[in-house]
Amino acid sequence: MKVVDAIVGNRGSSAVLVLGSFFVLWQLAVMIFNPPAFIIPSPWVILQEIAAEPGWYLGHALYTLQACLLGFALALLIGVVAAVGIVYSRFLEHTLYTLLVSLNSIPKIALAPLFIIWMGTGISSKVAVSMLIALFSIVIDTVLGLRSVDPDAIDLSKSLRASPLQILFTIRFPNALPAMFAGMKVAISLALVGAIAGEFVASQVGLGYVILVAQGMFQTTRVFAAILLLGVLGTVLFYLVDMAERLLIPWHVSHRTAQGAAPEV
């Protein structure tokens, strides 16, 4: 366990333990009850399926990953700019914020077919759906973070004759980072959902496409293989954001308790 700890951290090691047990139980259940493979294959068979065509799966996974990352990056860029606008402008708060909230109450997957019509079946429509679905949580949490500044810190900055831009970058942004990362953790998973949703509607590549085609031919093992890869992809992406958070905001309360006392310098 020590080795695992060193690689993925404490939380990671318990995740490995829990997931490992899950797959062992699954494997045992399939071996004991022996259901038909088109209903539910064993994990071992799924792994063999992936191992048989690793390059093919990798290609599809990378396509989905690309759509997801581009969507996430766009959502982050647009979301943060929008949030700054909303925080600084009463007009934008009343218009853009209201619009976003009502837009968010629409299931955005329902918009995916529209984007296929507008942007074609290429990657751009998947990126668009992915971006749209990830955008909301980033905007909401960034607005929250930018707003929840100690008024004394603003007064202090003003008393030091700081410009509004200096206050934004020196006080508000660092202060907003913990909230922004909370939003980004939700957003990265949603971005993957968006990418898959786009691929479900119309695509020739990607793990969503793999699932759809395999399902049509009752290749259940292949469906499971794609799902497994999606699970791995989603988990890795989440922990990447988590790691970025630890690197960027080591001062935050949630990390202090996790690390205990500060390292001696």
Partner 1 sequence: MRQAVWGGGGGGETHRGAALTPAGAARNVTTDPFPGVGAPSYVQVRGVDKIYHAKKGDILALKGIDFDLRQREFLSILGPSGCGKSTLLKCLAGLAPISAGRIEVKGVPVNGPPENMGIVFQRDVLLEWLDILDNVLLPIRFARLSKHEWEPRARQLLETLGLKGFERRAPWELSGGMRQRVSICRALLRNPELLLMDEPFGALDALTRDELNLELQRIWVADAKTVLFITHSIVEAVFLSDRVLVMSRNPGRILDTIEIALPRPRPLSIRETPEFGVYVAHIRRLFEGMGMLKGTG
User: What does the binding site for partner 1 look like in residue numbers (CB under 8 A)?
Assistant: 150, 152-153, 155-162, 166, 170-171, 174, 177, 249, 251-252, 256, 262, 265
Q: Closer to partner 1 by CB, 144 or 153: give it.
A: 153
Q: Are 173 and 84 in contact (CB under 8 A)?
A: no
Beta carbon of residue 265, minimum distance to partner 1 (angstroms, whole number): 6
Q: How far apart are the first and last CA of the chain?
A: 28
Beta carbon of residue 167, minimum distance to partner 1 (angstroms, whole number): 9
Beta carbon of residue 232, minimum distance to partner 1 (angstroms, whole number): 33
Beta carbon of residue 81, minimum distance to partner 1 (angstroms, whole number): 22
66: tokens are: 């690309």
Q: Closer to partner 1 by CB, 8 or 162: give it.
A: 162
Q: Closer to partner 1 by CB, 215 or 254: give it.
A: 254
Q: How many CB atoms lie within 10 A of CB 233?
A: 18
Alpha-carbon distance 97 to 84, whole Å?
11
> 229: closest CA among 59, 108, 69?
59
Q: Closer to partner 1 by CB, 235 or 246: give it.
A: 246
Beta carbon of residue 177, minimum distance to partner 1 (angstroms, whole number): 8
Q: Closer to partner 1 by CB, 94 or 256: give it.
A: 256
H/E run at residue 144: helix 123-147
> 150: closest CA among 169, 133, 172, 130?
172
